């Protein structure tokens, strides 16, 4: 492969070579052979799939990444969500900066409905995937199939079948040398990176257990409106339906679970736990639990205790504590201590905006033609850890990783249409079936 004098292949050459070279080994950073740009100029074109609050935020961060980027396509199931996203990105009054000039989305490049993503992906070089997580495996597979770089939000699936698909797609992305960043932004946060470095250098000895928390009030609710089909209602109130969200252990608590996996350098082999819905019992809260407590066990016998709760007015804590033989990491405090002695304290004034950093680094790599990021595999396994936790609390049984991930269990609808039935349907009073420990079973 020819490189220019800076050691990098020029952008034009990438495009030419992409058709000639098959997949290669993964090494990061590495000069890529993939088709980095479809553009005739050097503009990096972006499409956003999923135009809610987070999609708008991620698109904004991409446009603020200081590279020559342009938003060219948008897709959402709902026209009003797409419009509010477009309006926010073209506003003159953004707190973060004016990116209006970097938005070039014609009416023909705005796609509404379940299938719009395919056409939106075709128009861009980098795809931002920020729909509810249930759709992620489908959208990710399509983006990689079309040879695009990806930023996708966590979690990356809601069921084991989705995880399988993401893992397979991650392999293809590696072969095609397509950069994939997953929005587990603690990996891009200065304090975590510094703590991780020190843990790797042996400051805490062997990591033997972890405590992780996401306890707080919970999130928004969108009440059912007259005239909505069941599919539309669930799509609007997606947080409370498992095929879309995966329960809050998956949708939020994944961040904390992922930190233990990351520092441990492995994934749990099994899980058991308890949970339920004691306070958030209304029909508007769909089918998810309001609390989970899970004991995850790693192959070497070490344990991660994981607790997450969405109950108003209760003790709030979102943090991770990692316990090693020679020291304890408190991520929130950003320090490492041992028997009361502070071994390391990160200066919090140096903290970055990790949401921005993940885009800055991704787009810098793409602009330079570097293949640097392969987050999808860990994203899938972090998601699988959370799903395994949910299966444990829902069933009250011990859930083994291998068995769960290979189970092929799918909770997704078979058909995506406004008049199609989602997998979980309400009874005559509008209440949904709820998992019951001891009754709910995944394996006979």
Partner 1 sequence: MKSLFAIAFVFIFHSILSAQDFKTYEQSIPNTDIKFKMVAIKSGSFTMGSPYSETGRDEDEGPQKKVELSAFWIGAYEVTFAEWDAFFRNMEVPQTKAIAVDAVSRPTAQYIDLTWGMGRDGKNPTNSMSQSATIMYCKWLYTQTGVFYRLPTEAEWEHACRAGTTTAFPFGNDAAALKEYAYFKDNSGNKFHKVGQLKPNAWGLYDMLGNLSEWTLDQYDPKAYEKLADKAKNPITPPATRYPRVVKGGSYLTDANESRCANRVPAVSDWNKRDPQIPKSRWWLTDGMGVGFRLVRPVQQPTKEEIEKFFAQYLK
Interaction with partner 1 in 66-125: which residues (CB under 8 A)?
88-89, 94-96
Determine, following the binding rule CB under 8 A, whether residue 230 of this chain makes contact with partner 1. Answer: no
Determine, following the binding rule CB under 8 A, whether residue 56 of this chain makes contact with partner 1. Answer: yes
Q: Which stretch binds partner 1 (CB under 8 A): 233-241, 313-321, 394-402, 413-421?
A: 313-321
Among 67, 179, 216, 395, binds partner 1 (CB under 8 A): 216
- Find out whether 203 and 326 touch, Cβ atoms under 8 Å: yes
Task: Let me know how long the chain is.
Answer: 444
Determine, following the binding rule CB under 8 A, whether residue 333 of this chain makes contact with partner 1. Answer: yes
Question: What CA–CA distance (Å, rounded) separates 12 from 26?
Answer: 22
Determine, following the binding rule CB under 8 A, whether residue 48 of this chain makes contact with partner 1. Answer: no
Among 12, 42, 53, 122, binds partner 1 (CB under 8 A): 53
Determine, following the binding rule CB under 8 A, whether residue 131 of this chain makes contact with partner 1. Answer: no
Q: Which stretch binds partner 1 (CB under 8 A): 195-203, 258-266, 351-359, 422-430?
A: 351-359
The alpha helices in 295-353, defined as continuous H runs, are none
Residue 86 main-chain phi, psi, to 5 deg: -60, -40
Among 1, 28, 122, 219, binds partner 1 (CB under 8 A): 219
Q: How far is the CB of 87 from partner 1 (least distance, A)?
A: 10
- Find out whether 394 and 435 touch, Cβ atoms under 8 Å: yes
List 342's β-bridge partners, or say none: 337
Q: How far is the CB of 129 from partner 1 (least distance, A)?
A: 15
Q: How far is the CB of 270 from partner 1 (least distance, A)?
A: 29
Among 230, 319, 361, 400, binds partner 1 (CB under 8 A): 319
Question: What CA–CA distance (Å, rounded) separates 306 from 254?
Answer: 10
The alpha helices in 136-218, defined as continuous H runs, are 136-145, 160-176, 190-200
List 125's β-bridge partners, or say none: none
Residue with tokens 């921005």: 356
Determine, following the binding rule CB under 8 A, whether residue 220 of this chain makes contact with partner 1. Answer: yes
Q: How far is the CB of 359 from partner 1 (least distance, A)?
A: 11
* Cβ closest to partner 1, residue 220 vs residue 341: 220
- Find out whether 385 and 267 touch, Cβ atoms under 8 Å: yes
* Cβ closest to partner 1, residue 88 vs residue 409: 88
Determine, following the binding rule CB under 8 A, whether residue 236 of this chain makes contact with partner 1. Answer: no
Q: Which stretch binds partner 1 (CB under 8 A): 36-44, 50-58, 203-211, 280-288?
A: 50-58
Helix (H) or strand (E) holding 131: none
- Find out whether 174 and 289 touch, Cβ atoms under 8 Å: no
Q: Which stretch binds partner 1 (CB under 8 A): 160-168, 209-217, 297-305, 371-379?
A: 209-217
Question: What CA–CA distance (Å, rounded) separates 34 from 19?
Answer: 8
Q: CB-side exposure of 419: number of CA atoms within 13 Å?
A: 0
Among 47, 60, 244, 365, binds partner 1 (CB under 8 A): 60
Binding mask 249-288 for partner 1 (x = CB under 8 A): ---x------------------------------------
- Our measurement of the distance from residue 166's CA atom to the centroid of its chain's CA atoms, rounded to an integer in Å, reads 11
Q: How far is the CB of 229 from partner 1 (least distance, A)?
A: 25
Please report, in angstroms and rounded to a whole number, the separation of the first and last CA atoms in the chain.
54
* Cβ closest to partner 1, residue 154 vs residue 390: 154
Helix (H) or strand (E) holding 164: helix 160-176
Question: What CA–CA distance (Å, rounded) separates 204 from 168?
Answer: 35
Q: How far is the CB of 319 from partner 1 (least distance, A)?
A: 6
Burial class (CB within 10 angstroms; exposed 0-12, middle 13-18, buried 19+) of 415? exposed
Number of residues that bind partner 1 (CB under 8 A): 35
Q: Which stretch binds partner 1 (CB under 8 A): 32-40, 160-168, 230-238, 349-357?
A: 349-357
Structure tokens that stand for 132 in this block: 């509810």
Question: What CA–CA distance (Å, rounded) separates 357 from 386?
Answer: 25
Interface with partner 1 by CB under 8 A: which residues? 53-54, 56-58, 60, 88-89, 94-96, 183, 185, 214-220, 252, 312-313, 315-319, 332-333, 348, 353-356
């Amino acid at each position: 492969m020819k490189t220019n004098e800076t050691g990098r292949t020029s952008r034009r050459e990438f495009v030419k070579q992409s058709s000639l070279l098959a997949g290669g080994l993964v090494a990061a950073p590495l000069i890529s052979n993939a088709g980095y740009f479809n553009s005739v100029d050097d503009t990096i074109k972006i499409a956003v799939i999923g135009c809610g609050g987070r999609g708008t935020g991620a698109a904004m961060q991409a446009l603020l990444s200081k590279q020559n980027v342009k938003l060219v396509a948008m897709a959402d199931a709902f026209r009003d969500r797409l419009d509010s996203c477009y309006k926010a990105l073209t506003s003159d009054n953004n707190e973060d900066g004016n990116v209006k000039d970097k938005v070039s989305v014609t009416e023909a490049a705005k796609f509404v409905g379940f299938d719009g993503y395919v056409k939106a992906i075709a128009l861009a070089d980098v795809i931002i995937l920020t729909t509810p997580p249930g759709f992620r495996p489908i959208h990710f597979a399509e983006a990689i199939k079309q040879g695009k770089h990806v930023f996708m939000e966590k979690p990356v699936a809601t069921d084991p079948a989705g995880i399988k698909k993401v893992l397979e797609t991650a392999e293809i992305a590696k072969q095609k040398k397509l950069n994939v960043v997953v929005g587990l932004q603690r990996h891009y946060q200065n304090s975590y990176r510094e703590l991780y470095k020190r843990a790797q250098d042996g400051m805490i000895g062997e990591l033997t257990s972890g405590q992780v928390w996401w306890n707080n009030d919970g999130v928004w609710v969108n009440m059912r409106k007259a005239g909505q089909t069941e599919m539309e209602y669930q799509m609007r109130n997606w947080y409370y339906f498992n095929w879309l969200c995966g329960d809050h252990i998956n949708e939020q608590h994944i961040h904390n679970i992922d930190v233990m996996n990351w520092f441990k350098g492995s994934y749990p082999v099994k899980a058991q736990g308890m949970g339920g819905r004691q306070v958030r019992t209304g029909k508007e809260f769909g089918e998810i639990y309001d609390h989970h407590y899970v004991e995850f066990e790693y192959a070497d016998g070490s344990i991660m205790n994981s607790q997450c709760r969405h109950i108003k007015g209760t003790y709030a804590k979102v943090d991770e504590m990692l316990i090693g033989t020679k020291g304890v990491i408190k991520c929130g405090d950003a320090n490492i201590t041992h028997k009361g002695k502070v071994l390391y304290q990160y200066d919090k004034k140096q903290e970055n905006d990790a949401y921005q950093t993940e885009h800055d680094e991704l787009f810098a790599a793409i602009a330079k033609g570097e293949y640097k990021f392969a987050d999808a595999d860990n994203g899938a396994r972090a998601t699988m850890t959370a799903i395994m936790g949910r299966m444990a609390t829902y069933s009250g049984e011990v859930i083994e990783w291998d068995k769960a991930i290979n189970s092929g269990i799918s909770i997704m609808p078979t058909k995506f249409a406004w008049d199609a039935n989602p997998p979980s349907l309400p009874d005559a009073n509008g209440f949904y079936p709820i998992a019951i420990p001891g009754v709910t079973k995944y394996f006979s």
